[in-house]
Amino acid sequence: MLLYAVTIFVSAFLLFQVQPIIAKIILPWFGGSAAVWTTCMLFFQTALLGGYLYSHWTTGKLSPRVQTWLHLALLGLSLLVLPVAPSDNWKPAGSENPTIRILALLTATVGFPYLLLSTTGPLVQAWFARAFPGVSPYRLFALSNTASVLALLSYPILVEPVVGTHRQALMWSINYALFAGLCAACAWRSRSLAVIAGETSSADLTANPPGPRLFLLWGGLAACASTLLLSVTNHLTQDVAPIPFLWVLPLSLYLLSFILTFDSAGWYKRWLYLPLTGAALGAMAYASGADRELAVFTRVALFAAALFLCCMTCHGEVATLKPHPRYLTSFYLTISIGGALGGLFVGVIAPYFFTIFLEMPIAILACALLVLMVHRGDPESPLNRSKGGWAWVAAAAATLAIGVVLVRDLQSTNKEFRVIVRNFYGGLKTADWGTPDDSDWSRKLTHGVINHGEQWLQEERRREPTTYFGPGSGVGRAIRSKDRDKPQRIGITGLGAGVMLSYARPGDYYRIYEINPQVVALAQREFTFLKDCPAKVDVVLGDARLSLEREERQNFDLLHMDAFSSDSVPAHLLTREAFQLYFRHLKPDGVLVIHISNKYLDLEPVVARAAEALGKPSVFVNDEGDQDGGYFGTDMVVISNRKEFLNLEPFKSWKPPRTLPGVLLWTDDYSNLFRIVK
């Protein structure tokens, strides 16, 4: 028994630890977008489905001896693709579809080993059931999920802070080779199990096969939990940061619900989880509204707790409906189909077919309706045992109330917008404020819930700087302090509405790096900063850092780093290597301006460490803004190649950015957002 248990434990640990490793390696290649993790999860869920399908087919169609030799051959072939670190050749050029690129990259890099790991759970459980007839194999499923949770939780705590990403990939590859040996031993022992234990027992022959309703409930409940998992993860990472902790926390809770519900029936009590799940769905419906302001820890805790309760209910009902071990592989196959459908819905259908973030409202309402459907067909349900049917009335009223909250929020948050679009990089909206008769008539671009640029619509004010780029901001001071008698070469990472072009003059050159083609389209169609710009402007499509790495030295007088996705932080743009790249593109007297305004994270000590590591003088500029002038309060760090520049009048009263003892220098192999949460 120990061999089977250890093999399943190791395979599940590796199966889930590789997910944050690979996702973190490729995250910078795709602009640090929150959708990178969602797309990775789609791949991993689909590969898991492939592994379960393989297990179901081989255990049902092949003799134990043929199955053994086939699996041994595949394990040997999978070793040939190690190590799993993706090649730099997979870095995008800027014009590719990011979803297709990520899926192809993962298939070529980690696909084969991951597929073999995915087969281990159901396959080894099937071998176990043959070897030990009469002993339930389902607790091995709980064991595998325990290993998965340990893999996920250990990553941000024990692995990420101390081991570089490429070394992580190498260590994982070595451990995979050890797993292959364990699995080969299990496979070799199983080659004659049919003779030892008998192909089937009398209990197997009398077990009733599951009907269509059971298959639909297994798949539907699994799909609902998967959709909630990914939509909650999207919600948390879109406006904070796409970081491993906010990836693994929801996934760990999702897996914990599997552990508890499949370990013992005592963990899931319908009378307890039914009202708790209703409250959780209501809380998520309320808190997901765009106008609900919550502190970062409150938001994370609320959605994490609500997700756990919903997954306990979905997986608890699945565990209650599990079949005889004879149908074990078809049961796991159906669950994996549901999980993959949830990933497909959130990772592909939602960003490419919806203009707004509908997946969470749909998942919340679907969960409520599906739970009611399960209870409706079960005479043992607490809802069916209530006198006078009052419990059903209360459940229906609660579901209706959740639906009303979701619909009203969607209507209220989207009705005032002129344009609503969405793609892999998130949702964009434009809206007009005021009327032509108002002095403050303006048009705003929103990414997620964050303003990404605004323009006055009166003809005489269209070229005034607004939002984060007022004359008192760090970048406004820096541009006005440069030698204005000569044309300037300005680099900008992040186009937004194009507000920075309000500083352009005839003879200047502006080079703007923008990863999202929809941002470029809206800046050209909805705003006139680009059209009215008197300077020469080039817009380079693609991730700013990758574009700068490929280009010849640009000799910028000033480079402004302002590439945020909604309010999330692209950590790869704040590392030592990134700052070295920025200064390679600056003139000897060039200036780097880093925009660090953020609701949730204190980026000042991060930039301070980078400037310190490069030996560059810097100042922190906190502009309080001007409400009447349309300027926001902003935080920026100005870093110069020459200290004399920072002694000029606009900067001499400002101090260097502060450092914090616990905040270390970020590198391409190390970053830690825990230390800078506000």
- pLDDT of 131: 75
The residue among 455, 428, 418 whose CA lies nearest residue 517 is 428
Q: Is the dihedral of CA 90, 93, 97, 99 positive or negative?
A: positive
CB 329 within 8 A of CB 59: yes
Question: What is the C-alpha to C-alpha distance for residues 285 and 427, in angstroms, rounded to an integer?
Answer: 19
Helix then strand count (H, E) for the chain reads 24, 11
Question: What is the C-alpha to C-alpha distance for residues 472 and 443, in angstroms, rounded to an integer?
Answer: 22
Pairing of β 442-447 and β 426-433: antiparallel
Place of tokens 């080039």: 538
CATH numeric code, 1-199: 1.20.1250
The residue among 227, 59, 260, 50 whose CA lies nearest residue 145 is 260
592 pLDDT higher than 50 = yes
Average pLDDT, integer, range 35-62 = 88
Question: What is the C-alpha to C-alpha distance for residues 457 and 112, in angstroms, rounded to an integer?
Answer: 55
- What confidence tier does 558 reach under pLDDT thresholds 50, 70, 90? very high
Q: Which burial class, exposed, middle or buried, applies to 23 when counting CB atoms under 10 A from its CB (0-12, 13-18, 19+)?
A: buried
Task: Provide the phi-psi class of 144: left if phi over 0, else alpha when psi is between -120 and 50, else beta.
Answer: alpha
DSSP state of 636: E
Question: What is the C-alpha to C-alpha distance for residues 99 and 38, in angstroms, rounded to an integer?
Answer: 10
SS3 673: coil
- pLDDT of 193: 60
479 pLDDT higher than 50 = yes
Question: What is the C-alpha to C-alpha distance for residues 246 and 20, in angstroms, rounded to an integer?
Answer: 11
SS3 441: coil
Q: Tell me which of 564 and 471 has the higher pLDDT.
A: 471
325 pLDDT higher than 80 = no
CB 305 within 8 A of CB 252: no
Q: Residue 89 belongs to what H/E stretch? A: none
- pLDDT of 473: 94
Lowest mean pLDDT among 218-227, 303-312, 561-570: 561-570
- What confidence tier does 310 reach under pLDDT thresholds 50, 70, 90? very high
Average pLDDT, integer, range 55-68 = 85
All residues at 6 or more sequence positions from 199 whose CB lies less than 8 Å from its CB, including other chains: none
Q: Tell me which of 673 and 22 has the higher pLDDT.
A: 22
pLDDT in tens, 430-477: 999 888 888 789 999 988 778 899 999 998 899 999 999 999 999 999
CA 336 remoteness from chain centre: 20
- pLDDT of 243: 67
- pLDDT of 197: 40
pLDDT in tens, 142-165: 788 889 889 988 988 888 878 888
- pLDDT of 196: 37
The residue among 598, 596, 573 whose CA lies nearest residue 678 is 598
In the numeric block, which tokens belong to residue 254? 């999702």
- What confidence tier does 170 reach under pLDDT thresholds 50, 70, 90? very high
Question: What is the C-alpha to C-alpha distance for residues 545 and 568, in angstroms, rounded to an integer?
Answer: 16
464, 467, 473, 475 alpha-carbon torsion, rounded to 10°: -70
201 pLDDT higher than 70 = no
- pLDDT of 198: 40
Query: Around 430, how many Cα atoms within 13 Å sit in the side-chain half-sphere?
Result: 18
pTM of the model: 0.82
262 pLDDT higher than 50 = yes
Domains 208-413 and 468-676 fall in the same CATH topology: no
Question: What is the C-alpha to C-alpha distance for residues 585 and 556, in angstroms, rounded to an integer?
Answer: 6
Q: How many residues are there in the chain?
A: 678
CATH numeric code, 468-676: 3.40.50.150
Q: Tell me which of 577 and 186 has the higher pLDDT.
A: 577
Q: Residue 411 belongs to what H/E stretch? A: helix 390-414
Q: What is the mean pLDDT of the chain?
A: 87
Average pLDDT, integer, range 360-387 = 87
Q: Tell me which of 423 and 201 has the higher pLDDT.
A: 423
CATH numeric code, 208-413: 1.20.1250
Task: Provide the phi-psi class of 383: left if phi over 0, else alpha when psi is between -120 and 50, else beta.
Answer: alpha
334 pLDDT higher than 60 = yes
Place of tokens 């909206």: 429
pLDDT in tens, 494-552: 999 999 999 999 999 999 999 999 999 999 999 999 999 999 999 999 889 999 999 99
Place of tokens 């609701």: 599
52 pLDDT higher than 90 = no
256 pLDDT higher than 60 = yes
- pLDDT of 615: 95
Pairing of β 634-640 and β 586-595: antiparallel
- pLDDT of 240: 64
Pairing of β 426-433 and β 417-423: antiparallel
- pLDDT of 566: 53
All residues at 6 or more sequence positions from 136 whose CB lies less than 8 Å from its CB, including other chains: 325
The residue among 472, 523, 525 whose CA lies nearest residue 499 is 523
In the numeric block, which tokens belong to residue 265? 């029936």
Place of tokens 């007088």: 557
N-to-C CA span, the chain: 49
Average pLDDT, integer, range 170-191 = 90
CB 369 within 8 A of CB 224: no
Q: Tell me which of 335 and 206 has the higher pLDDT.
A: 335
For residue 268, which phi and psi values (nearest 5 degrees)?
A: -110, 110
- pLDDT of 291: 60
- pLDDT of 539: 96
- pLDDT of 297: 80
Question: What is the C-alpha to C-alpha distance for residues 180 and 173, in angstroms, rounded to an integer?
Answer: 11
CB 84 within 8 A of CB 149: no
The domains of the chain are located at 1-199, 208-413, 468-676
Query: Around 156, how many Cα atoms within 13 Å sit in the side-chain half-sphere?
Result: 19
SS3 content of the chain, % helix, strand, coil (to 5): 60, 10, 30
Average pLDDT, integer, range 561-575 = 76
CA 252 remoteness from chain centre: 14
In the numeric block, which tokens belong to residue 331? 């049961």
All residues at 6 or more sequence positions from 378 whose CB lies less than 8 Å from its CB, including other chains: 384
**DSSP characters over 523-574:** HHHH--HHHH--SEEEEEES-HHHHHHHSPP--EEEEEE---BTTB--GGGS
- pLDDT of 205: 44
SS3 216: helix
Asked whether the bond before 113 is cis by omega within 30 degrees of 0, the reply is no
- What confidence tier does 617 reach under pLDDT thresholds 50, 70, 90? very high
